[in-house]
Chains A and B, each alone.
Chain A
Amino acid sequence: MADGFFFQAIIYLLAAVICVPIAKKLGLSSILGYLFAGIIIGPYVLGLIGQEGQDIMHFAEFGVVMMLFLIGLELDPFKFWRMRRVIFGMGMLQLVGTAGILFIACSIVLRWEWQATVAISLALTLSSTAIVMQTLKEKGLTKTSMGRSSFAVLLFQDIAVIPILAILPLLADGHINNSNVNHSLISDLPGWLQTPIVFGTIGAVYVGGRYAIIPLLHVVAKTRLQELFTASALLLVMGVSYMMQLVGLSPALGAFIAGLVLANSEFRHELEGDIAPFKGLLLGLFFIGVGASINFAIIMADPAFILIFSTIFNTIKFFVLLLVGKIYKKSSDQNLLFAFALSQAGEFGFVILGFAVQLNLLPTVLSNQMMAVIAISMVGTPFLLLINEKWIDPFFGVKERQARNKYDTIEDDKNDVVIAGFGNFGSTIGRLLKANHIPATVLDMDSDRVDSLRKMGFKVYYGDALRLELLKAAGCENAKIFIAAIDNPRVNLQVVEIVKKHFPHLKIFARARNRNDAFELVDMGVNDFYRENLYSAVHLGVDALVEMGQRRYTATRQGQRFIKYDEAATFRLAEKKHDKKALMLSTMHEIEIQEELIKNDLYSQLGAQDHAWESEDIRKEQQDEF
């Protein structure tokens, strides 16, 4: 058994690792890489995996759930509420339009039973959230006008699955194949009770998220165990999905709501970072599953029908979408992209067709043909987008593109300054910036502190600044300044290293605990370092000089000069240290450096460098003259 599992896992992973980079190299989307990986290892090419592609898909559909959770996280409830008209308007228009035209066309041309036609029309109307959202993300289009519209339509389809699945049994004329068709807990209850339960569940997700999940995450965060947080994140998504399934709602919708609830919490970026890798893997698996489940035997049995039907249905869908976009006044290039992107059928199609077969609404052969059509249309989408990008889009002037960029910058509410670490050190910096109306995004590991700071109006996120996803989520790609002010000096240096490597455009200001930290920063090429004890120690020294009878201004100038001198010495010693790396961290060396510094202090005659306001030699000169 274990061998079988390992073998399978290796095949899936290997196929992905080989095919995806090739697809990327060819300038295609990674989705195509996964789909072809699926086709190649599937039963009709290499036959390394059998018909279980379908099962894999059911499992991997969970990736779609996670994706919606992440989408929810990125969208705060306020923005979502503003989108409600678009979601229902565009979504409804698309759904009714596409399903209606498909139904009429199929009824006229193909003469299936009307129930079958309804089921097929509805199944083909729903687009693939997985393919569309992943593609948009890859192309960086999620924040454009077409990205938002696509999302709106997809979200509406997600919601629409529920009533569709509820309507289909009404079409069945009694003899149902399979008795456990309705697998939800409450389906036996009368309708007047079902509705409040469904809404109650959604309410429970909302209230639970606010008052149970967030405090729970606080507790988990306090353990400071990264993997426990990941486990909680997974538990959260799975729990919500399961709950939704129990009441017969789509798990993706539940996950989306949960994401929405948590979007405003301080854990947002941390959750994003934790779930994203799982989502990516599962979606990859899902696409492989789609590829593997394409039944070439059925296609070969009647290739002309499948291909022509796919083309026609894609075309119908495309034009309906184009019309919807026109009604909503999209600019031409955005509208084309929108229509191409959503023109395929998706994973919900499989679900609806499977359900319809169980209800005896259509024959299995027809259903298999339709499933092949759906799979082909999913494979086709990346190609259609490629065609649009290469040959169609260039015809639409540069004007639109500039407008799009402008919109993006307005949409982007990320700050120019990112501060990592908001202890005493970092918070002082944050306060100074805030007092001067420079907003900063703050990352901190202490969830209690994060909480209280957020109440005070700081934009603070909980999370480990060592994680690249979190740094990205905090807006490092668009920021100008990165301030590394983490209490733990080791971590602070590591963060600087990561930032330096992945965001070379950022100007880094780094806190350094002591001279040794400063040396390391110099080694990394960071020249703006701030030794936390230097300035206060010098201030204290100045006060001591004053107490010993020096005038305050003279002592202060001595302090200023000392700091400059010491900073120069640090640079000098950093180079020297470079020469004898091996000795570096030993205490011996620390003492050695200390000795050298003190020796130099004596030689450099600190303080005797100028004679401002002194009249001694002027007086001498005058005496000489007389």
Chain B
Amino acid sequence: MNLKLQKILPQLVTVLVVVLVFGFFTYNAQINMENRGIDFGYGFLSQESSFDVQFSLIEYDGSHSYFRAYLVGLLNTILVSVIGIIFATILGVIVGVARLSPNYLINQFAAFYVEFFRNIPLLLQIFFWYFAALRALPLPQDADPILGVFFLTIKGLYVPAFIWENLNVFLYSIVAAIIAIVVIRIHARKVQETEGKQLPVFWISLGLIFILPLLSFLMGGVGLSFEIPKLKQLATTSFIYEGGVSLPPELIALTLSLALYTATFIAECVRAGIQGVGKGQKEAAASIGLNPNQVLKLVVMPQALRIIIPPTTNQYLNLTKNSSLAAAIAYPDLVLVFAGTALMQTGKAIEIVSITMLTYLSLSISISILMNWYNKKIAIKEK
């Protein structure tokens, strides 16, 4: 009995202390807010926000509510995180593999890239891409078109917009292609298991994903045209592009710096993962007659991934959290729109900061759960 108490007591005390500390801060905040006549409440979320946001994925203007402004910020944060994660992963894998390349020039270049971008503070890099690189871009009227249709200017990147006819038919054709590929893969597996024959699954899949949508163009009445951005004069020396899609320079600078920075860490994870697979594994695989491609795909990568995934998850989380540095360069993310403008206009500091913290926590936990699920999926399954 005494021993049990000894075990539980320290934990009880810890819990008590934590509760008391939190309780004290809550109480203190309540008293202070009461003294200063500040109301606490989340009612402001439904009020009209009356400020505009530069860039939004959903329809929004100042006549919408603060809650809508919160969604705008949240979606912008998710957007920059998702794009950043995709680019960082692609670049990270390439650089990580390149660091192991037998080619001296390639591996040294990769090593230089990693050391350079990893060791400069991210905020500085964001400032560099936004203020230094942006300043070097031409004004809209001086921009030379890239491939005739893209315009990279100080006011952003203007790309042609797709104008679809019968878009749904095209989407159906893609869905059909994907279903067909899945069916063929299952079938190919069965054939391999029963007859030991390998079907050229890759080429069949590639063909399907191209041919079916192509057919939809030829026979399904799908049409695609492009709306190319056109220069419009606002004043003597002031121009913009109209039509097409414009990507604000803030988004480009932020994604670029986040991807370049995080890719260095992912590259190191990838290198560690590949190096972590025993040499004997590759040799054994080669000795049973697998070609180098199969060695990488069937033997090395499945084992390397187990080492790569957990630290890479951390990098994804870091990238998402680092995206809050957006506020420095006017990219309207959650921190700028909600914990910035909305906080200022309402003065609801405690409410807004708590919502923002909770949101980042939820985002991070979601990424964690997703990556843990993937990690479990590829882990060694004891049979």
Task: Judge: A and B partners, yes or no.
Answer: no
Which residues of chain A have a CB within 8 Å of any CB of chain B? none
B interface with A by C-beta (< 8 Å): none
